[in-house]
Amino acid sequence: MSKKVDQNRRKALHITSGIVGAVTVAGFAVPFLSAWNPSEKAKALGASVEFDLSKLEVGAMAVLEWRRTPIFVVHQTSKALENLPKLDSKVTNPAIEEGITRSENSKYTVLKGVCTHLSCAPKYYPEIEPKAWDQEWLGGFFCPCHGSKFDLAGRVYKGVPAPTNLEVPPHSFDGDVLIVGDSA
């Protein structure tokens, strides 16, 4: 301790080694954090799914599975396409800019079958008839868990627990084939 200590040198060394140490920790963290990203297996399972629309009758709904989520594909009737704009005032977010069907196709609607309230699966009631939950029902989805109502394009009615419209998954059309998921 008798020799003079160069405090400036020590300070510089402290800072340098501190930086090197921090880089080391950060460097070690990168692979460990990235390992939690979806693996190639998960990506393979989560790849896009295809669906042949030519077999879906008018007014019918098909349920696909994509990333372990039910995907509702509705072939809209001309009646439904007429009715949908009438409901603009009844729904919370009319989403007019998305088009009537809210899809890239004027006949089909593609929705994630997950209620935006508490993740139950809404049921499909296309009939135009008075229902227990709505005397002026024009067809749509009704969630049996907490009574949320959506129209045939998945738009949420006012005054129900669900806050937002049913989500539209990324999708595209290739002729008669619907591709759900990011096109590869």
Partner 1 sequence: MIRGLIFLLLTFFSGKLLPAGESECGSLESCLEYKADVHDLYSLQRGLGVYMNYCSSCHSLQYLRWNRLQRDLDIPETILQDDLILNPEIKSSDYMIFGLNEGDSTAWLGASAPDLTLRTRVRGESWVYTYLKSFYEDASRPLGSNNLVLQGSSMPNVLASIQGNQQLSDKGFLVKVSEGSLTDEQFDNSMKDLVNFLAYAAEPIRRDREKNGIFVILFFVIFTAVMWLLNREYSKDIK
Partner 2 sequence: MGEQNKSFMNWIDKRFPVTENLERHLTKHPVPKKVNFFYIFGALLMVIFMVQVITGIWLMMFYTNTEEGAFASVEYIMRDVEYGWLMRYMHSTGASAFFFLMYFHMFRGLLYGSYQKPKELVWLFGCFLLFLLMAEGFLGYVLPWGQMSYWAANVILSLFGAIPVIGPDLQVWIQGDYVLSGATLSRFFALHVVVVPLLMIALVVFHIFALHEVGAGNPEGVDIEKHRDENGMPLDGAPFHPYKTFSALPAIGIFFVIFFAIVFFAPEGGGYFLEKPNFEEADFLKTPEHIAPVWYYAPFYSILRAITFGIPFLGITSKFLGFIIFAASIAILFVVPWLDRSKVQSIRYKGIYSKIGMILFAASFITLGYLGTKPVNELRTLIAQISTLFYFLPLLLMPIYTKYEKTLEVPDRL
Binding region for partner 2 (CB under 8 A): 17, 30-32, 34-35, 37, 39-41
What are the residues whose beta carbons fall under 8 Å from the beta carbon of 56, sequence distance 6 or more?
62, 73, 75, 108
Burial class (CB in 10 A: 0-12, 13-18, 19+), 35: exposed
Which range in 19-27, 63-71, 112-120, 139-147 contacts partner 1 by CB under 8 A? Answer: 19-27
Q: Does 11 bind partner 1 (CB under 8 A)?
A: no
49-66 in b/e form (b: 16+ CB < 10 A) is: eebebeebeebebbebeb
Q: Does 158 bind partner 1 (CB under 8 A)?
A: no
Q: What is the closest distance, in whole angstroms, from the C-beta atom of residue 37 to partner 2 in the complex?
A: 5
Q: Which is nearer to partner 1, 28 or 78 (CB)?
A: 28
Q: What is the SS3 assignment for 125?
A: strand
Q: Does 16 bind partner 1 (CB under 8 A)?
A: yes
> Residue from 32, 44, 132, 159 that binds partner 1 (CB under 8 A)?
44
Q: What does 159 interact with, of partner 2, partner 1, none (CB < 5 to 8 A by kind)?
A: none
Comparing CA positions, the residue from 91, 173, 161 lying closest to residue 122 is 161
CA distance 141 to 122: 6
Q: Which is nearer to partner 1, 24 or 93 (CB)?
A: 24
Q: Is the dihedral of CA 34, 42, 177, 80 positive or negative?
A: negative
Q: Does 5 bind partner 1 (CB under 8 A)?
A: yes
Q: What does 68 interact with, of partner 2, partner 1, none (CB < 5 to 8 A by kind)?
A: none
Comparing CA positions, the residue from 62, 94, 66 lying closest to residue 165 is 94
**Which residues in this chain contact partner 1 in the complex, by CB under 8 A?**
1, 3, 5-6, 9-10, 13-14, 16-17, 20, 23-24, 27, 40, 43-44, 47, 184
